[in-house]
Structure 1
């Protein structure tokens, strides 16, 4: 079957570690696993980190990449694949597709049957494929971890990336006052079109916010701290600019701030996200869609840093 996979580890040139070619059909580890015919998948920075060797060892290669997929299950149902696999051998208690088990960037992917969520009829396969990682992460950050409430405001750092853009769109759809930063004037314009107030990085906001969505790290964390209202929740799910920002602990205890880690989400949270999107009419922001034969161009688009929203691969072409 066709697949996009890591054939090497290249910390300084991840795209050189990517191969698009033939791989064996999925192996079902136990009877409760099934093979899903993938109709669409979406890329994440997790895929680029895997090509760099972060969370992936050379002895695991070749490893099919990809966490996000939507497709058809063995019974003919249209489904979204939840990418979190229970894994007692991992210190987190789980692993993601493409970490221990082969990933979703292939014609077919093996997953536990319990990881399949019914795709709502109003979603295309491409839209549904955007949800299991970035959109689910943003949903959990805002709701379960951030506990965003009526009348509260939100700051999203680094809008343009998959999680940050999802958080902007979700926050606006929830009726929150949303501020979002980006170094790119073009991306700030796109943020404004989504209904948020766009600001340049480090700019003082009109108000201190109740929830901060932080995926950038060192470059923005000081601004996140200074923008936080008393009792605010700063929810962290990434550190693309570096993992060790300076933190003024006096501000943490004076303002009784909460700094909360968040990663992915549960299958129940994915179902809640789908229900919210269905009722609100909101759909994922797609930067670009590529045929499977264009997978290398899709990875290059993601690696460029110019994408706004999700980069999708259409497995039907």
Structure 2
């Protein structure tokens, strides 16, 4: 089969579209002919070099396709079934991710534990099925499981346009929360407004904290979705309301932000760390998508053979939605 692998750390140029042996389903596994996969920033971090990831490695956490064969003991699926993959695997209390801890989905065939597969809704394309799992599962755990977002609350989401940010935005809408989104792109802010954002701010030129205080009657954001780190951390704490919740799932701008710790105790803030999610988080997010209460946003699609171009698009930070790879039959 064809797959996209890395043999060394580096930029998009280290991605290799190559032949690798076809996998066989072990007991408890299902062999899936993948029709689409999507990119996440996790793929970029792995490609640039995570010490814990051995090489060569097939990248990709998300995927959707068609069942080809069943391993011993598998029930509930049949050849020809359309399926979507839950990329998070909970083992001994730890959440591991397909594409990081095992070979991923940027390939034509993938043997997947049956417990990680779900029927792909008829109304969803393979591209849509591949676009939602990791980001929606991550956002659902942050907002529903950790922060318990309530109807009418204000939620600050930095960097609208990225996968987790857009998933968080859609989930907030489904929960009846009010959304504050930021970007340095006027085009992205306008798109967010057209999708229903309650407040859209340029985090490069606007006084984000003052604007949030003004919009919320001086209270601030009840929940802050923090994925950026050093560049936004101080403003996240300043913008948070009394008894607010700050949920952190990443730090794309750096992991060592300055912190005025007094904000934590004077405001009685709660800070949650969150990563990926459990089967319950995946199912909760998928239910909202299937019911039409949350929308999937795709920025662009590329053939699997053009994974290098797809990575370049993701790293450009110009995308609004997920970057998806189409996989030939």
Q: TM-score when scaled to structure 1?
A: 0.92
Distance 1:282 1:100 in 2: 29
Match of 2:117 in 1: 116
Distance 1:303 1:63 in 2: 20
Q: Give the deviation of 1:145 after TM superposition.
A: 1.0
Residues 15 and 307 in structure 2, CA contact (< 8 A), matched pair in contact too: no
Match of 1:49 in 2: 45
Residues 229 and 256 in structure 2, CA contact (< 8 A), matched pair in contact too: yes
Match of 1:157 in 2: 158
Match of 1:80 in 2: 84
Superposed CA deviations along residues 205-256 of structure 1, whole A, max 9, x for unmatched, are 1221111111111101111111111111100111000011112221111111
Distance 2:281 2:90 in 1: 16
Is 1:69 matched up with 2:63? yes
Distance 1:283 1:209 in 2: 23
Q: Which runs of 5+ in 2 are unaligned?
A: 70-77
Q: Give the deviation of 1:299 after TM superposition.
A: 1.2
Q: 2:28 aligns with which of 27, 32, 37?
A: 32
Match of 1:5 in 2: 5
Q: Give the deviation of 1:156 after TM superposition.
A: 0.2
Secondary structure of 2:259 counterpart: coil
Distance 2:104 2:146 in 1: 27
Is 1:139 matched up with 2:140? yes
Q: Give the deviation of 1:270 after TM superposition.
A: 1.3
Aligned residues: 308
Q: Give the deviation of 1:55 after TM superposition.
A: 4.7
Residues 137 and 263 in structure 1, CA contact (< 8 A), matched pair in contact too: yes
Measured on the aligned residues, the alpha-carbon RMSD in Å equals 1.6
Q: How does 1:244-255 map to 2 (within 5 A)?
A: 244-255=256-267
Distance 2:300 2:52 in 1: 27
Mean Cα displacement is larger for which, 97-106 or 272-281? 272-281
Secondary structure of 2:169 counterpart: helix
* Closer/same/farther in 2, CA of residues 190 and 222 from structure 1, 3 Å limit: same
Q: How does 1:258-269 map to 2 (within 5 A)?
A: 258-269=270-281
Distance 2:263 2:123 in 1: 45
Residues 117 and 271 in structure 1, CA contact (< 8 A), matched pair in contact too: no
Q: Give the deviation of 1:83 after TM superposition.
A: 1.0
Match of 1:287 in 2: 299
Q: Give the deviation of 1:291 after TM superposition.
A: 1.9
Residues 149 and 175 in structure 2, CA contact (< 8 A), matched pair in contact too: no
Q: Give the deviation of 1:268 after TM superposition.
A: 2.2
Match of 1:23 in 2: 20
Q: Give the deviation of 1:40 after TM superposition.
A: 0.9
Distance 1:262 1:130 in 2: 20
Secondary structure of 1:50 counterpart: helix
Superposed CA deviations along residues 97-151 of structure 1, whole A, max 9, x for unmatched, are 1223110010011221111112122111111111221121112111111110122
Q: Give the deviation of 1:301 after TM superposition.
A: 0.6
Distance 2:232 2:141 in 1: 21
Q: Give the deviation of 1:94 after TM superposition.
A: 3.4
